[in-house]
């Protein structure tokens, strides 16, 4: 059990945040406001952090697997599932992206509020750094994620991916198209200093 340093609310759902775990921010809230989960969905919440998107998804979905590379985040998400009484249809896993999943494990929906900002190598030396730092172009994690995600989608399965305009939105759309997925930008929010964040929905079209 880790001691929370702060409690954050999204509507009537609460999240305790612990040291070493990304505190939900503007990007998390834009994502949460535009989560559209279908009854019966089997959902993967990748980079779960404190579990905000997974816990919200679990209120409607059939099941949610919350995954993070950060072991503190995996524990924090588990605690927040219990705090909101949705632990019964959630599971938790520490993994680098989807590498710990067996072939053939498929989802209706994969959520990822990715680390998407351009950064120096040294930024990934802390857990909080790894939550936002995407390497020199900001694309290191996103570019590894896309090919892995497409192999774990059911027919007509969807990916919701959040990233910044600083990280080449069009290149992400192009990469999804190369794997045969259709895309739409579902939501967008302008931030100060010429940056905007975008929630991309990509769907497999068999
Ligand atoms: C921007 S935070 C988002 C956290 C939470 N989903 C939210 O919206 O508030 C990105 C999360 O991705 C996790 N992450 C970074 N690289 C990862 C990787 N290679 N595999 C799995 N998770 C990763 C970080 O530890 C962090 O929790």
Domains and CATH numbers, the chain: 28-204 (3.40.50.150)
pTM over 0.85, yes/no: yes
* Contacts with 29 (C-beta within 8 Å, 6 or more apart), sequence order: 10
pLDDT greater than 80 at residue 106: yes
* Amino acid 2: pLDDT: 61
Indicate the helix (H) or strand (E) that contains 38.
none
Instruction: Report CA-CA distances (Å) from 108 to 31, 36, 53, 62, 96.
Output: 17, 12, 15, 10, 20
| Residues facing 191 on adjacent strands | 195
* Amino acid 1: pLDDT: 56
Helix (H, G, I), strand (E, B) or coil at 169: helix
* Amino acid 152: pLDDT: 98
pLDDT greater than 80 at residue 3: no
* CA atoms of 82 and 97, how far apart (whole Å): 24
Q: Which of 22, 78, 117 to mutate to test the pocket of ligand 1 (most atoms within 8 A of CB)?
A: 22
Above pLDDT 90, what percent of the chain?
A: 88
> Pick the residue with more confidence: 33 or 121?
33
> Pick the residue with more confidence: 95 or 125?
95
DSSP assigned state of 2: P
Indicate the helix (H) or strand (E) that contains 62.
none
* CA atoms of 33 and 182, how far apart (whole Å): 22
Q: Which atom of ligand 1 is nearest to the CA of 31?
A: 8
The mean pLDDT of the chain is 95
Q: Which of 28, 53, 68 to mutate to test the pocket of ligand 1 (most atoms within 8 A of CB)?
A: 68
Do 96 and 115 form a contact (C-beta atoms < 8 A)?
no
Distance of CA 126 to the CA centre of its chain: 19
Q: Give the range among 95-99, 105-109, 194-198 with minimum mean pLDDT.
A: 194-198
DSSP assigned state of 61: S
* Amino acid 117: pLDDT: 86
* Amino acid 61: pLDDT: 98
Neighbours of 103 (CB within 10 A): 7
The mean per-residue pLDDT over the stretch 72-94 comes to 98
Could you tell me the distance, in angstroms and rounded to a whole number, from the CA of residue 47 to the centre of ligand 1?
3
* CA dihedral (185, 161, 52, 26) positive or negative: negative
Structure token pair of residue 61: 């979905």
Could you tell me the distance, in angstroms and rounded to a whole number, from the CA of residue 82 to the centre of ligand 1?
20
Residue 130 Cβ inside 6 Å of ligand 1? The answer reads yes
Structure token pair of residue 162: 């959040």
Whose CA is closest to 157, among 53, 33, 38, 63? Answer: 38
Compute the CA torsion angle 110, 116, 122, 125 (nearest 10 deg).
-30
* Contacts with 34 (C-beta within 8 Å, 6 or more apart), sequence order: 160, 186, 187, 199
The mean per-residue pLDDT over the stretch 133-154 comes to 95
pLDDT greater than 80 at residue 124: no
* Amino acid 119: pLDDT: 87
pLDDT greater than 80 at residue 4: no
The mean per-residue pLDDT over the stretch 102-118 comes to 96
Residue whose Cα lies nearest atom 9 of ligand 1: it is 24
Q: Which atom of ligand 1 is nearest to the CA of 23?
A: 9
The mean per-residue pLDDT over the stretch 194-198 comes to 93
pLDDT greater than 70 at residue 60: yes
Question: Cβ-count burial of 157 within 10 angstroms (0-12 exposed, 13-18 middle, 19+ buried)?
Answer: buried
């Amino acid at each position: 059990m880790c001691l929370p340093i702060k409690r954050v609310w999204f509507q009537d759902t609460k999240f305790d945040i612990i040291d070493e775990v990304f505190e939900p921010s503007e990007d998390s809230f834009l994502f949460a406001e535009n989560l559209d989960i279908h009854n019966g969905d089997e959902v993967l919440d990748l980079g779960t952090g404190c579990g905000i998107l997974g816990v919200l998804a679990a209120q409607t979905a059939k099941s949610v697997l919350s995954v993070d590379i950060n072991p503190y985040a995996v524990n924090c998400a588990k605690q927040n599932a219990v705090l909101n009484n949705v632990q019964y249809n959630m599971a938790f896993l520490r993994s680098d992206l989807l590498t710990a999943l067996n072939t053939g494990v498929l989802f209706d929906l994969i959520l990822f509020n990715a680390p998407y900002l351009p950064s120096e190598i040294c930024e990934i030396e802390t857990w909080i750094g790894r939550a936002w730092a995407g390497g020199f172009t900001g694309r290191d994690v996103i570019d590894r994620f896309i090919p892995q995600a497409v192999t774990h989608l059911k027919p007509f399965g969807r990916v919701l991916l959040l990233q910044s305009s600083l990280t080449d939105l069009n290149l992400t759309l192009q990469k999804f198209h190369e794997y045969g997925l259709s895309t739409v930008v579902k939501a967008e929010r302008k931030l100060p200093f010429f940056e905007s964040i975008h929630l991309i929905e990509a769907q497999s079209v068999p």
